[in-house]
Each structure stands twice: as C-alpha cells, then as structure tokens.
Structure 1
Amino acid sequence: MTLTRHPITERNRRVLFRPREWALFTQPRAVVGFVVALVAVDVLLAAVGVCTTAPRAGELLTAAVIVASGAVCVEAMRRLGMPQGMVRDLLGVWWIPVVLLLPPLYSLLTPIPLYVLMQYRIQRAVMFRRVFSAAVVALSGFSASTVFHALRPGQVVLLDGVAGSARSSVLLNGPGIGAAVLCAVLFTVCNTVLIAGAIRLSVPEEPRRTTVWNSESLLLDTVEVCVGLIVAVLCALSLFLLLVVLPPVLLLQRSLLFQQLQTAARTDPKTGLLNAVAWERVAKTELARALRTGCPLAVLIVDIDHFKKVNDTHGHLIGDQVLLGVATTLSHQLRQYDVIGRFGGEEFVVLLPGADMAEACRAAERLRTRVGRMALPVNDTTVTVTVSIGVALLRVHGRDLLELMAAADLALYRAKDSGRDRVCLPVAKSVGVSVRSADEPSAESRDS
C-alpha cells in the first residue's frame, strides 16, 4: 500500500493529532462529558470484571456462538441497506441471552465485536457515536446481568457448551422466568434512558415523542424482549437450537429495516421532515378532501432570510444545524395533523387543513416570531435567523396544489421585497375572487 493511493491530507493529520478537532469535541460540553463518563465507567467495570471472573470453556463457547449469530444479522442488515439517521435493530435479541446466561463481564465485552463489524461492514458512522452506542448496550447489559445474578445466585452454571440442566432450569421455573423478564425489561429501559438522555443533551428542544418515547418504539422494545427471552431459553437448552431461531430473527430484522427504509425514502435526511415528493403526495390527498367536504385549507411557504450568509460566515455544518433548528421550531408550533416538509434549500412548505385566512395568518405569524427568537450557540457567539412567509388560501388563490403553490410563492417574493421577516398574502386576484390586501394588519405582520 502506498500513500499515493490513500493520501493523508494536511487537514486529516491536523484532526488526527488535535483532539479538540475530533467530532466528539464539536458537541455541547454536556454531551462530551456524558459520553466520556459512560465509556470510562464501562472500561473500569470491564477491568474489574477481567480480574474477578474466571474464564470457563462453556461460557466462552456460548458467548462466541451468540456473537456469531449476531454477526449473521449484521451481515443481513448490510445486504438490505441502512437508512440514514437513527436506526432501530433487533440486536437486543442477542444481548438478552448474554445478560441472562453469562456472567456480567460478558455483557460488557460482547457488544464490541458486533459494533466493530457494523462500523466496517455496514456504515462508517461518526466514531464517537458508534462507541457511545456500544457503551450504552454494555452498561445496560451489565446492570441487568448483575441484577439477574443477584436474584438467582449460583444457578446459572455453564458446564459445557452444548447442554446443561443447571443453566436451563433457571429459565424454566416460575421465579426464574419472572427474574428473567424483569432483567430483560431493565436492560431495555436502561438502554432507552441512556440514549434519550444523550439526545436531550444534544438537542434539548427535541420532543421526546419524536425520538424514543412513542408507541411504535414501545412495541418494538416489547417484541425485542419477548424474542430475546425465547432465544435465551433455547440457548440454555442447547446452542444447536440457535439454528432454529436464527431464520425468524433474520426475517423480523429484514421487515423492520424495510419499514425504516420506506420511511427514509419519504423524509429529508437533514431535517427529518417530509421531502418534497412525499409532502406533495400528502398535500394532494388533503386538498382533495378539502374540496370534497368544503373545508378551508391554507398553504405556507417559509424561506430562511439570508441563509447563504449563514453558510458563508459559519460553514455548511452550522447551516445544517440552522435548518434542523428551524424545522424543529416549525414542528413545535404546528398542530399534529398539519403537514410540513422541506421544499428544497432553505425553503419549507406547510399545509394547514381547516385553516381559513385569519387562522392561516395567525399561524404564519406565530412561526415567524418563534423562529426569530431561536438562537443557535456557535463557539463564543450565537446564530439567529429570520424567515419570510407566503400564504395562499384554497378557493381564494387557487383550486389545485399547483395554483396554491404559485400564489404562496408570489406572496413570499412580496415578503422578501418588502424587507423580509414578515408574512404576506398575494396581491393579485386569483380565479375571479377578490383578495383582501395583505397590507391590512390582520393579514400581514408589521414587524421587521
């Protein structure tokens, strides 16, 4: 291998030997402290565990077989493809048997090879995020395993790698099953709480229900716990039974990833909002319903003012954070059934079902005000932005989505020409209906 084929640029050398330029240290201090503390605790516990846990052939073989089964699932994930952003998997199915059948030390060590495999076989994620994910699983598994072995002391004994009545009986009686369920749930809860904590520290304004606290996540966690317990029981009876349970787990993993890939195809990767194609599809459905029922409907086009200046001054990474911040602020100020998407560049589109002219203008003004109050910390300063918004009403400015978008776009240009940081309606008449001037206080913001 020569350096000409894989050159190390001067910037790469600088980043490599200057820890302050690593991706971790670009995060808020609370996130850096949280990640470093978590990894340090895992390393300390692993060092103590290595000194106090005597290796046994049966335990090592069981751990190896479980890791190999997890590696098969990782390889299946690679072949299907991985969506961007936060990805749910079913690797907990393999962590739970380790928690219940092996000493706590193995819960700290077994995540390492699988996450290394994910890093180099599936997707080269930011390294500190991959390390953090492994550390979360390790600490959660160690905690649950410690509790389980405290509840059922001395009963999980691996005499060989193929079968053992002592290790299977603990999971086949009433108290053992109860303790196993409790500790499997404890593992899942610890894992979720640690991840949610990191998200809250990184993005404090992110709503819990849009990250890990929602009904779909709860259902997936329940499935993962149930299947993990089944795998643990079969593994306790005989390691050969993993050949029976592996295909169903692979099928569940494939179904889960396929659903996430479908969702990723509909969302914008930088903001998590609907992309333009998906938004247009949903908007046409809502528009047809409004025309059929006679209900009002409004369309807003929201454009960030002087966004190019933000990119030129602070860089595109900060620009992406501004986009995410604006998207989050808009989402917080809208109703659950309003449809918001990223139209492209620094533009967002909003569909307001059931909104008449007054309500649409009030909503647009609320969005304008809240975005103007948003402050994004960058080094020793903060970045603030404003938005201009164009509003169009169904039956007033058009009767199909193309007409409404064109009218809202004209209103947006009017807001830009009037000084930006304001809400405007179209001036011209559309489809033969007179439109009240947007210069009236009820239709347009006077603030700049």
Structure 2
Amino acid sequence: MSISEKPAAPVGRVPGGRSSWPVLQEPQGLIVYMCLLLVAALFLFGVAFALTVFSLKDLVTFTALVVGAAISVEGSRRLGTPTPAGFNRDLLGAWWFPVVLLLPPVYSLLIPIPVYLMVQQRTRRTLVHRRVFNATSVGLSGFLVSVIWHGVWGGGLVGGLGGVLEAGEPLTTGPGVLVAVLCCAGFTVLNTLLVALAARISSGPGNSLRPMWDREALIVDAVELCVGVTVAILAQLSLFLLVIAVPPVLLLQRSLLYQQLQMAARTDPKTGLLNAPTWEQEASVEIARARSSRGRAAVLIVDIDHFKRVNDSHGHLFGDQVLLGVATTIAQQLRQSDLLGRFGGEEFVVLLPGSDTTEAWRAAERLRSQVGGMDIAVDGVPVHITISIGVAVIGDHGNDLVELLTAADLALYRAKETGRNRVCLPAGRPGVGGTIPGPREAELPDPGGPAEPTDPREVT
C-alpha cells in the first residue's frame, strides 16, 4: 500500500506560495513526519549493516527477487497507472514478503529502492518525496517484521539481524507457514498505518479520508499475502522455481490494475467523486426505484459562488484545492446511501434517497453552512468560499432525472440571481438569506438559520 502518488494537497496551500520545492509545499507536520521516518530508516540501516554477515547466497536471492519485481513492473506498464485519491494498493508485496522471510532484515530496507526507482522510471514519474516516503514506509515495515521473524526462528535479535534461515526449516512446516502469514499480515497493517497517518496529516484534521480497508481492499491484501508467502516458499526451495511464480503474479497485478482503471473511469480525477455520466446512471436507477415504490428522493445542484474569481485571483491550482475541499466537506455531511458526484466545472450534484422537501431543504442548508465555514487561506490571507444550491424533489418538481435536474438547475439560477450563498426551490419556493418569495410560494418549516436541525444526515 502507498500514499496517493498524485497527492491532493490540503486546501489553502498553493504551490509556489512558500517554496518552489514540492516537498516544502506540503504541510509542516507531514514534512516532519516524513523526515523522522527517513532518519529512523537510515539509522536502522546503519545498525543492521554493521551486524549483518553478507553472503553470496543472500545477494543472489535478493537479485532474483528484484528481477521478479522488475518483470512485474514492466509487465503491467502498458496498462497505465490509475491515480485514485487517498491510498493506492498493488501486489508488490509478492516481492517484499520473500525478502522479509528469507533474507536478513537489512535487505528489507534495501529492496524498495530499486523497485520504486523502476516504478518511477517505467510507469509514471511523480513527486520524488512521495516515492521516497513510500519506499521508507515499506522498508521500515519490512525491517521490523523481519527482525521479529528472524528473532523467532533465528535465535534472538542479533541472530535475526545477521542470520539467514536454513532451507527446509520454517517455511516447509505448518507452524512456520502460520507464523510467516501472521508476520506478513503485520507488515501489511504496519505499512497501512504509516501511510494512513501521512494521508491524515496531509489532508488536515477537518477532512475525511476513505477508509483504509473496505471489502475490496481486504481481498487485495489477502491475495497479496498469500502470493508473497507462496513465492517465499518457492524461492526457499529453489530460486529456479521463481520462474513459475512470475506469470501468476504478473497476471494478478494486471488484473488489479485493470480493476483500478475501471474505477478511475467512473470517478473525477480532481475530487475522487463520481463523474457526471456515472452519477447520472446510478441516480437514474435510484429514482426509478423510488418511483416504483412510491418513495421520495431529492436532487441538489451545488455551485461554488464566484469560482472564476477564485481562479483568476489565486490560480487554477488553488482552485483545484478549493474543489477538493468543497467535495470533502459535502461528503462529510451526507449519509452512506446518498449519491454525490461532480457535475462539471464548479458544480456538484447530490441525490438524497428517501428525502422529502423539508429533509432536502435542511440537508442543503447544512451543506451551505458547512462549506461557508471552511478555513481556507492563501499566503495567510483568508479566502471565504460560499455555495448556492438548487433543490428539486421527485413528485413535486419532476418524475425522472432529467426533469429533476432541470428544476434544480432553475432553482440554482434563481439562488444566484437573488444574491448567492443560499438555497432555493423551484416554483417560487422560499430560500435562505433573503430570497424573495414568488407568487406560488408554499410555506416550509423554518430551518432555524445556520443551526443544524436533527435529521438522519447529522454527523454525531
């Protein structure tokens, strides 16, 4: 697992605002965190190097595993590399794990270097400090787990640092394989936690991240673990058996990349939200389901006020960060069943299944209030961001997605005409912040100003 290679910088940090070096554009906490890990890795490498007795057999095994990793990287290169926001998962553990289990721990600190150099050169160039962090995270995780593994089977810490397991000992016994699986699982957990902490620092305390593990991620990690232990067993029996291990590893890696590319085709690269075609497809299914069951559903169109002015004044890179910040803030306020997507430009769309007019109004008011309270600054100067929202409800303003989007768009246009930073309904429904009632106005419950009313979407 690695941190996203095309990082989403936190809102308010503008490249060039502090330094022309990309690493210095990161949050200070993240810079300190990465430096601490790098210093720890260098220190442990020095200690391990001094205690390790190098042998030709170890060097040959290490070289063979690096070659296997290189073949995997090269074999998957032509598929392209997706760049989802947050965490990236791969099957490079198929080559990390054998190094952890078969070689002295110092090699666990070394193997990420040539592998990530190949990834950088052969797949996609990206920020060097992110590559360094990912290599450091893998190296530290592998080193600590390798010390534990060799400490169990190699006669203590010094034996673990300097000794290599004899062929036919632990990896060909049931207890040995069980301990190897547990150690590799510990490697995955530790690496994931190191990466997740970096992502948390990078995103800031006010932003949420995708969960570290969902069902798909657990399946990928389990496959990676099983393949890595299998490759380690084959390599311990004979390095020539690695020849039959490479094709299945390569096939699994390509399969994983293909699934990630499919996911990337469904999402917006700047925000990680569903793109417009995917949102429309899924929203149409939900609305059809609501109509068939005579249920309710609402559509919101959210537009960032004066977004062009933000781009013109502060640059498009800052504008991209504003988009990400607004998307994250909106996502935090929605239920898991709600559907959020980027509609294009500075517009977002939300489907609220099961929501009537009052619930949709309150949800939209909460979104408006939360986005208006975001803390954004450029070079220490606060920048205030607001949104306008148009709301349409099935049955009241339309019976299919096209009608609802049209009604919500008209309501959004009305919100912008009457001063922005407000919520409006079609057909003259009253809005927030002084919207002038129309001739067909219908009374709605007072949302209570900026206070958040009690409804299923409240974040506790």
TM-score (norm 1): 0.88
4+ runs deviating over 6 angstroms: 155-159, 443-447
- For 1:324 and 1:439, the matched residues in 2 are separated by 35
Partner of 2:316: 316
Instruction: Check the 8 A contact 1:375/1:382 in 2, yes or no.
Output: yes
CA deviation profile, 1:292-342 (whole Å, cap 9, x unmatched) = 111111111000111122222222222111111111111111111111100
- 1:111-158 Cα offsets, whole Å, 9 max, x none, are 111101111110111111111111110111111111111111159999
Which residue of 2 is the match for residue 186 of structure 1? 186
Cross-structure match for 2:200: 200
Instruction: After TM superposition, list the pairs within 5 Å mapping 1:77-92 onto structure 2.
Output: 77-85=76-84, 86-92=87-93
Shift of the alpha carbon at 1:71?
A: 0.7
Does 1 or 2 have the higher relative contact order (CA < 8 Å, sep 6+)?
Answer: 2
Give the aligned partner of residue 58 of structure 1: 57
Contact (CA 8 Å) 2:105, 2:160: kept in 1 or not?
no
Counterpart in the other structure of 1:386: 386
1:5 maps to which residue? none
Q: Distance in 1 between matches of 2:43 and 2:162?
A: 26
Shift of 1:213: 3.0
Q: Which residue of 2 aligns with 1:284?
A: 284
What is the match of residue 6 of structure 2?
none
Query: What are structure 2's unaligned runs of at least 5 residues?
Result: 1-14, 430-437, 451-460
Once residues 26 and 104 of structure 1 are traced to their aligned partners in structure 2, the CA distance between those partners, rounded to angstroms, is 34
Structure 2: distance between partners of 1:377 and 1:295: 43
| Whole-Å separation in 2 of the counterparts to 1:335 and 1:197 | 25
For residues 343-362 of structure 1, the aligned pairs below 5 Å read 343-362=343-362
**1:19 Cα offset (Å):** 9.6
Summarize the Cα distance change of 1:158–1:103 in structure 2 as closer, same or farther, 3 Å threshold. closer
What residue in structure 2 maps to residue 12 of structure 1? none
Moved more, 100-109 or 305-314: 305-314
Task: Name the structure 2 match of 1:139.
Answer: 140
CA–CA distance in structure 1, aligned partners of residues 384 and 329 of structure 2 = 13
| CA distance in structure 1 between the partners assigned to 2:441 and 2:148 by the alignment | 66
The 8 Å contact of residues 388 and 421 in structure 2, kept in 1 or not, is answered as yes
Could you tell me which residue of structure 2 aligns to residue 269 of structure 1?
269
SS of equivalent residue, structure 1 residue 350? strand
With 271-280 and 147-156 compared, the bigger mean Cα shift is at: 147-156
Whole-Å separation in 1 of the counterparts to 2:357 and 2:311: 34
Q: Once the 2 structures are TM-superposed, how far is the Cα of residue 54 of structure 1 from its aligned partner?
A: 2.7
Partner of 1:298: 298
Aligned partner of 1:148 in structure 2 is 149
> Following the alignment from structure 2 to structure 1, what is the Cα–Cα distance between the partners of residues 406 and 324?
25
Amino acid at match of 1:87: N
Report SS of the residue matched to 2:171.
coil
Query: Counterpart of 2:68?
Result: 69
In structure 2, the CA distance between the partners of 1:207 and 1:157, relative to structure 1 (3 Å rule), is closer
Please state how far the C-alpha of 1:78 moved relative to its aligned partner. 0.8
Partner amino acid for 1:122? Answer: T
Task: Report how many residues are paired.
Answer: 422
Equivalent in the alignment of 1:104? 105
Q: Does 1:166 align with 2:169?
A: no
Distance in 2, matches of 1:318 and 1:165, equals 53
| Alpha-carbon distance, 1:49 to partner | 2.7
Q: Which moved more, 1:105-114 or 1:74-83?
A: 74-83
Shift of 1:46: 2.0
User: CA distance change for structure 1 residues 416 and 166 in 2, over 3 Å: closer, same or farther?
Assistant: same
Q: Which residue of 2 aligns with 1:11?
A: none
Aligned CA distance change for structure 1 residues 249 and 156 (closer, same or farther; 3 Å): farther
Task: For 2:162 and 2:42, locate their aligned partners in 1 and report how far apart those are by CA, in whole Å.
Answer: 25
Q: Contact 2:52/2:162 (CA < 8 Å) preserved in 1?
A: no
Deviation at 1:167, TM superposition (A): 2.5
Q: CA deviation at 1:270?
A: 0.7
Contact 1:424 1:443 in 2 (8 A): no
Displacement, 1:440? 4.5
Q: Determine the C-alpha separation between the residues in 2 that align with 1:168 and 1:140.
A: 26
- Whether the aligned pair in 1 keeps the contact of 2:97 and 2:184 (CA below 8 Å) is yes
- Check whether the contact 1:80–1:254 (CA below 8 A) recurs between aligned residues: yes
Q: How does 1:231-270 map to 2 (within 5 A)?
A: 231-270=231-270
Which range moved further: 59-68 or 402-411?
402-411
Tell me which amino acid in the other structure corresponds to 1:29: Q
> Percent sequence identity over matched residues?
52
Q: Determine helix, strand or coil for the equivalent of 1:299.
A: strand
Q: Partner residue of 1:26?
A: 25
Shift of residue 436 of structure 1?
8.9
Amino acid at match of 1:331: A
- The residue number in structure 1 matching 2:456 is none
Deviations 1:207-226 (Å, cap 9, x if unpaired)?
Answer: 45x14232322222122112
Judging changes above 3 Å, is the alpha-carbon distance between structure 1 residues 207 and 428 closer, same or farther for their aligned structure 2 residues?
Answer: closer
Helix, strand or coil at the partner of 2:168: helix
Given that 1:425 and 1:443 are in contact with CA atoms closer than 8 Å, whether structure 2 keeps it comes out as no
Deviation at 1:190, TM superposition (A): 1.0
**Preserved contact between residue 137 and residue 194 of structure 2 (Cα < 8 Å):** yes
Aligned to 2:116: 115
Q: In the alignment, residue 321 of structure 1 is paired with which amino acid?
A: Q
Distance 1:112 1:334, change over 3 A: same
Alpha-carbon separation, structure 1, partners of 2:440 and 2:366? 20
CA deviations on 1:90-118 (whole Å, 9 max, x unpaired) are: 00111000000000110011111110111
**Alignment-mate amino acid for residue 118 of structure 1:** V
Deviates more, 1:45-54 or 1:412-421: 45-54
Q: Look up the SS of the partner of 1:399 in the other structure.
A: coil
TM-score by length of 2: 0.86
Structure-2 residue corresponding to 1:3: none
Cα contact 2:391–2:424 (8 A) shared by 1 = yes
Aligned CA-pair RMSD: 2.6
Structure 1 partner of 2:96: 95
2:395 paired residue number: 395
**d(CA) in 2 for partners of 1:115 and 1:214?**
26
Distance in 2, matches of 1:378 and 1:173, equals 60
How far, CA to CA, are the matches of 2:353 and 2:341 in structure 1?
Answer: 14
SS in structure 2 at match of 1:317: helix
Displacement of 1:390 after TM fit? 0.2
SS of structure 2 residue aligned to 1:396: coil
